Amino acid sequence: MIFETLFQKLQEDKFLTLETTPQHEPSMHNIIEKIRKFNLDKKVDGFSTTDNPLAKLKYNALFGALKLQQEFGKPVIATMSMRDRNKIALQSDLMGANDFDVRAILTLTGDPAKMSDQPHTKGVFEANSLMLLKMIKSFNYGMDFAGRPFKIEPKQIYPFAVVNSYAKNFSTLERKMHQKIQNGAIGIVSQPVFDVDNAKKLLESFNNAKTDVANMKQKSQLIFGVFPITKLRTALFLSAQVPGIHVPQNWIDKLEAAHAISEEEEHKVGMQLSKDLFNELNKFHPKVHLMTANKYDVADEILS
């Protein structure tokens, strides 16, 4: 029932999820304790778990999602990346997760295996995330990806996908979103947005992308990624090094001026910019995925 409620909120209401990144340790204890410390489970509609981001070894995203659901009774969107699994492993994981009611899946292609902290790691990459969306669609019709029916039909799976938040040519993003909506994504989570005009342009592109998809006009929703910036160096790094993200010059200018005063001023200014953005987005499209790189005190500040 928790996923049906999450889907309903995504369609009709304010929608807020908080990202968690399982750690390089065989436990979710620290993350659970921090969420509990700041009462974040009372402030969000659900969580997400990341899947070995940057190809660095972490606790499994599906088990992390199960653990959070058991602890807080809130739905968790578990990330699955194509990098580490072939068709057999992907479907096997979907079946096992389904039995334990882990049924919201964020489909990712995954970061390159060459970034890994595990020597000589090879990526699998049978295809990109569209193939995983197609697999989930097959499961939702009661069959595996090869078209073989299940004797026991899987419970409904709720697929999510991602999109860059910025491009010089937004028609590129529009085309990618169209493909993902067409393949069943009920929610498309953007890379972090830092500018309201950028967000409005992305939402316009999203609405264009879903207009011609049969039965999906009301179903699929855009979810704005929000990543609070409290340091100048983070803004500079994201702006220069991460494709598909645009940090406005006025953010960098304000953080630069604050950085020259003190670390406290830098944090204060960054937090105010991030809070203002969060509030502005909620005024015209209150569907947000908050990413704080496990800094739950920052999440608490944004949501207070």
What domains are defined for the chain? Answer: 2-231+282-303 (3.20.20.220)
Q: What is the C-alpha separation between 44 and 33, in angstroms, rounded?
A: 16
Q: What is the C-alpha separation between 123 and 116, in angstroms, rounded?
A: 10
pLDDT classification of 243: cutoffs 50, 70, 90:
confident
User: CA nearest 94: which of 126, 71, 62, 123?
Assistant: 62
Around Cβ 77, how many Cβ atoms within 10 Å? 26
pLDDT classification of 214: cutoffs 50, 70, 90:
low
Mean pLDDT estimate for the chain: 94
CB half-sphere exposure, 3, CA atoms < 13 A: 21
User: What pLDDT, on the 0 to 100 scale, is given for residue 39?
Assistant: 97
State the pTM of this model: 0.94
